[in-house]
Structure 1
Amino acid sequence: MVVTLDDTRRNAIAVKLADMKLLQQLLIDNDERFLRECTDGEIADSLRRMLDDDRKNLAILDTVLVQYGIHKDADSTAQEVVQIVRQFMEGNELSFFEKVFQHELLKHQQVMNGLTIHKAVQKVGADVMAAIGPLNTINFENRAHQEQLKGILEILGVRELTGQDADQGIWSRVQDAIAAISGAVGSAVTQTSDKQDMNIQDILRMDHNKVNILFTELLQSDNPQKIQEYFGQIFKDLSAHAGAEEEVVYPTVRPFYGEENTQELYNEQARWGPALEQLRTISPSVPEFKDRIRQIWDEIGDHIRQEESTMFASIRNNMSSREAEELATQFKAAKGRIQERMGGTRTEATV
């Protein structure tokens, strides 16, 4: 029989990730609106820092979505709620204090979205855990923003109710609360990196890590259905990864990495496609399937080691930090386009 690789749990998580991206854009729009309306310099400075974080976190979400590899639209209810909130934020029905109050609730919703995804993927697979790893930074920063917004709300609320300024000691209490967040909330809310942007080495290394996990899980499994699912994910991930590298990475590095070295990488990836296509006709339950998977994995391992040693060193020596970050952005965009084109395709195998 032929079994498709339609995984409802992974699709459900993809919808929740799309919800997070939709809400993240609303948070950014709110930050920008608050800065235009705010007349308090200290509060404006805090809002400006949150805006910087929120913009960075939107880029991180884009990375997570590409790493995850399944693209879905946000839930229709989430879209309706965001539209309603946006209308209130753009209107005059709410005071500035009330708008910030609603914004803090949105931050709480985003924190819970991130934590829920983090916990859910633990029930799905190690490859998915690797894909959503950067989400931890967003969870941490949104939780910290909640505490900052509480301090801002106290100041704005006291002014609205009394016309007088609140005790500025609020700010020190806020900072103490932020410092205690990691221990109070747990390991699901941790800041994974201090870097502002991921460079191309970071992004490629994440891909390499994910596919290594998939191969390991496949070879350790004795369940033909799970083997088929892992193979389907490997097929899709490698196809998107290789296509994006060949579109934007290899042409960029060829001038300084060398014609021979770069062509070797092209040639190695060109062999994987036919090899994986042939495996689609073999039952995952026969020993030959895993034997051929091991052979492909060995070849991919050599390819990864070359990229992460000599190619990465060449990038560090010949590209600025900004250029390496821009190349990462181009790679993610190319990979996303390939994933979208593959979106309607299910990898199949005979069981």
Structure 2
Amino acid sequence: MVTTLDDTKRNAIAVKLASIKALQQLVIENEQSLLREGLDSEIADRIRNFLKDDEKNLGILETAIGQYGIQAEPKKTVTEFIAKARELFKGSELSLYEKVSQHELLKHQLVMGGLIVHKAAQKIGADVLLAIGPLNTINFENRAHQEQLKGILEILGVREFTGQDADQGIWARVQDAMAAVSGVVGSAVTQTSDKSDLNIQDVIRLDHNKVNTLFTELLQSDNPQKIQEYFGQIYKDLTAHAEAEEEVVYPRVRPFYGQDNTQELFDEQAEMKRVLEQIKAISPSSSEFKNQVTQLMNAVGDHIRQEESTMFAAIRNNLSTEQSEQLATEFKAAKTRIQEKLGVVTESKA
């Protein structure tokens, strides 16, 4: 039985997410470059705020990609566009107004890309919508940035063409922009309150929520192909999650969580992996398949309850906020590496 999710639509979203990440990285480079342009203090403060948000949002985006569970490369045309845009932005051909104008257009690309992924996820599956949920915050903030950039463009454009300041100051223009965007974006996506730095409990809980959703979708489906696809993603997600925990999390918590408790988690995951391999050999159209998946779901549920109660409590009581966030960073990096090892990275097409 195939153990990786071979679904064209889901792979297409993975490529789109990788493209959005590449564009987000370009946005950060652009803003760092703009801050070296000798901007006046008010505009510079706005760009610094954008940069702070965008650096945070890159981390949120990386978390969402890890939760999605399919690693991909950006679309070839996006990679080529970024190379050309980077060269042009760093050169002297564009005026400051033109650079900010290009940056505003780049923000528009990110806004539309994020909204399209969100809308597509609604059509593909609840697990996809759950995995990309953190994108809602990025979508909202990029839309807000875009409106503020329009205000900055008004200021810079009037200065460039007349040598004088516009009648309306940037702060008043920004207030108008934010009043408009709060209604427009609020109706399109739900703004979330994702923190800039997720702790290890947050990240593990996101994984747990997604796999529970996948189990539900699989058991509710009567389509053997969809059942196979759902199991493929469960197989990949649980394997990557377990190996990352065993590599990064369990050794870190063992000193304060206890040898016996930690070993129990290792043993439960070893059994889970054995059952995954056993289910993989069963036809998805067989009644035995769903019976085995139900037993696996129940076992995983017991494992989740132990982690989210006693292990999470031990982490809260023994690790500082910074240590827990650093552990999350290490866990996400390990999981991404394992995801890439489990299956060939989805390749983009021009």
Q: TM-score, normalised by structure 2?
A: 0.95
Query: What is the 5 A alignment of 1:254-293?
Result: 254-293=254-293
Quick check: 1:141–1:191 contact (8 Å CA) kept in 2?
no
The answer for the alignment partner of 2:134 in structure 1 is 134
* Equivalent residue runs for 1:95-174 within 5 Å: 95-174=95-174
- Give, in angstroms, the shift of residue 187 of structure 1: 4.2
**Residue 30 (structure 2) aligns with:** 30
Within-5 A mapping of 1:200-279? 200-279=200-279
Give the RMSD, CA atoms, in angstroms. Answer: 1.8
Q: Which amino acid aligns with 1:254?
A: R
2:246 corresponds to which letter in structure 1? Answer: E
TM-superposed CA distance for 1:190, in Å, is 3.5
Q: Can you list the C-alpha shifts for 1:104-161, whole angstroms capped at 9, x where unaligned?
A: 0000010000001111111211111111111111101100101111111111111111
Name the structure 1 match of 2:312: 312
How far does residue 175 in structure 1 lie from its aligned partner after superposition?
2.1
List alignment gaps of at least 5 residues for structure 2. none
Once residues 96 and 320 of structure 1 are traced to their aligned partners in structure 2, the CA distance between those partners, rounded to angstroms, is 44
- Tell me which residue corresponds to 1:331: 331
**Percentage identity across aligned positions?**
69
The CA distance in 2 between the partners of 1:45 and 1:185, in whole Å, is: 24
Cα separation, 1, equivalents of 2:285 and 2:12:
28
1:197-255 CA-to-partner distances (Å, cap 9, x unmatched) read 11111111110000000001111111111111111111000000000000001111111
Partners of 1:139 and 1:190 within 8 A in 2: no
Q: Aligned to 1:241, what secondary structure does the other structure show?
A: helix
More displaced stretch, 119-128 vs 108-117: 119-128
- Measure, in 1, the Cα distance between the counterparts of 2:115 and 2:321: 31
Q: Distance in 2 between matches of 1:104 and 1:177?
A: 14
Q: Count the aligned residue pairs.
A: 346
Larger relative CO (CA 8 A, sep 6+): 1 or 2?
2
Q: 1:334 to 1:187 in 2, by over 3 A?
A: farther
Q: Residue 43 of structure 2 aligns with which residue?
A: 43
State TM-score, norm by structure 1. 0.95
Aligned partners of 2:70 and 2:345 also within 8 Å: no
Aligned amino acid, residue 336 of structure 1 = T
Rounded Cα–Cα distance in structure 2 between residues aligned with 1:137 and 1:120 = 17
| 4+ residue runs over 3 A deviation | 1-5, 186-190
